[in-house]
Amino acid sequence: MSLVQRERAELPIGRQVARWRVRRRMTQQVFADRLGKSKSWVDKVERGVRALDRYSVIQEIAEVLHLDPAVLLGPRQPPPSTAAGLDGVDALRDALARYHRPVIRAVPGDQVERHLAHAWLTYQHAHYAQLLRSLPALLDAAHGAPTLLVPAYRITASVLVKLGEADLAWLAADRAVTAAATDPTRTGTATIAVAQALRALSRDRLALTACVRAAETTTDDAVRGTLLVQGGLAAASGGDRRNADDLLNHAADLADRRTTDDPHHTAFGPTAVLLALALAALTLGDTEEAIYRHERAARRADWPALPAEHRAAHLVDVARAYLQTGNVAAAGQALLDADRIAPAEVRYRPYARTVIAEITRSGPAAAGVTRLAAIVGLTR
């Protein structure tokens, strides 16, 4: 490979997309139309604001550009893989495919509830391998206790979003909404999962609409606030600054008066809203504002009380924010902090693998980041 070829191969994937789009004589609008995306989405991809962490999307882009996907990925960034190193996604897919479960031996409802509580703790500590192993049996058991189907499907959708299986997550989330029947609070909790899946699928407008409608009917402040947060993030992803600000500011008002009780596992509160404001700012291209809000949130007394997966996921986003300002050292430190808090959040999520690759490409990385790159199968 020549020096010029090597330099081009090491461009961030978004810049590779932009370069090939120009070579194919396509405007951003034409390119967006052929992909079925918005011009704003294309612009964010090309600037590195939105990550390309799903291989299926990279394949679609490559097809429009008449390229082999490997040309975009380059020699040091393998295709984002689903749950690299984790077993259990196929078993969970099989469990979701069992539409009609004959309940051979019903599990008592209180026992299913205990299993669900343990599953939520496992999720919040980002022990995804353990959770994947337990979820098929939990889904089967929950069919014998229909009132528990909503949280069982919701937690299934949540972990699948984490592991890059957004289509499967949407299926589980949709089942949760169906199981909720006409109960507004349960429908609200199920819609949280729907919104997460739709956002992962880049269906931001649908996610926004679903959240706003569900928030209008639920009376639980934590559920309503979380729906507003999800709606605000969806609006930000769609470039809708006004709705993002309105929804997140409304969520902040609710968070200021909410109690510490969290029966629906939302982790909703002032710090969670501040983290969402930081992510929205990053998504909208306000990188400095995103870092400022992150640093405010991390100094709050209740930051350590947030679930480990929530803090670690946020730090991965912050790593990208620091990287966009050219602060590679701070980006690497944020990534290492995330790995210390919840290793699986960094090592098994396709999105995090993309961020690791971008950091290692941006210059000499700290020893810890280099070690992480080796662990997840990236090479320099």
Which pLDDT value is given to residue 7? 40
**Residue 36 exposure: Cα atoms within 13 Å on the Cβ side:** 7
Instruction: Round to whole Å and give the CA distance between 342 and 365.
Output: 21
Closest among 377, 369, 378, 276 to 331, alpha carbons compared: 369
Which pLDDT value is given to residue 100? 58
DSSP summary character for residue 28: H
Closest among 105, 82, 50 to 166, alpha carbons compared: 82
Supply angle C-alpha 91, 94, 99, rounded to 5. Answer: 145
Task: State the burial class of residue 303 (Cβ atoms within 10 Å of its Cβ: 0-12, 13-18, 19+).
Answer: middle
Closest among 169, 168, 220 to 195, alpha carbons compared: 169
Q: Tell me which H or E stretch contains 235.
A: helix 221-237
Are 199 and 230 within 8 A, CB to CB?
yes
Q: What is the mean pLDDT of residues 258-279?
A: 90
User: 101-155: per-residue pLDDT in tens?
Assistant: 555 567 788 899 999 999 999 999 999 999 999 999 999 889 888 789 999 999 9
Cβ neighbours for 315, distance < 8 A, ≥ 6 positions apart: 334, 335, 337, 338, 341
Whether pTM > 0.75 for this model: the answer is yes
Q: What is the mean pLDDT of residues 264-293?
A: 94
The 10 Å CB-count burial string (b at 16+, else e) for 160-181 is bbbbbbbebbbbbbbbbbebbe
Instruction: Round to whole Å and give the CA distance between 286 and 175.
Output: 36
Are 132 and 87 within 8 A, CB to CB?
yes
pLDDT more than 90, % of the chain = 53
6 pLDDT above the threshold of 50: no
Task: Give me the chain's average pLDDT, please.
Answer: 87
| Residue 214: band (very low, low, confident or very high) from pLDDT cuts 50, 70, 90 | very high
Q: What is the mean pLDDT of residues 170-181?
A: 94
| Residue 36: band (very low, low, confident or very high) from pLDDT cuts 50, 70, 90 | confident
Are 159 and 119 within 8 A, CB to CB?
no
Structural tokens at position 19: 């370069």
Instruction: Round to whole Å and give the CA distance between 218 and 183.
Output: 9
Sign of CA pseudo-dihedral 276, 298, 336, 369: positive
Instruction: Round to whole Å and give the CA distance between 185 and 158.
Output: 18
Cβ neighbours for 4, distance < 8 A, ≥ 6 positions apart: none
- List of domains in the chain: 3-73 (1.10.260.40), 85-268 (1.25.40.10), 278-380 (no CATH)
Q: Which residue type is seen at 133? A: R
User: 362-380: per-residue pLDDT in tens?
Assistant: 877 788 888 888 888 776 4
Name which residue leads in pLDDT, 229 or 90: 229
Q: What is the mean pLDDT of residues 81-105?
A: 70
Task: State the burial class of residue 347 (Cβ atoms within 10 Å of its Cβ: 0-12, 13-18, 19+).
Answer: buried
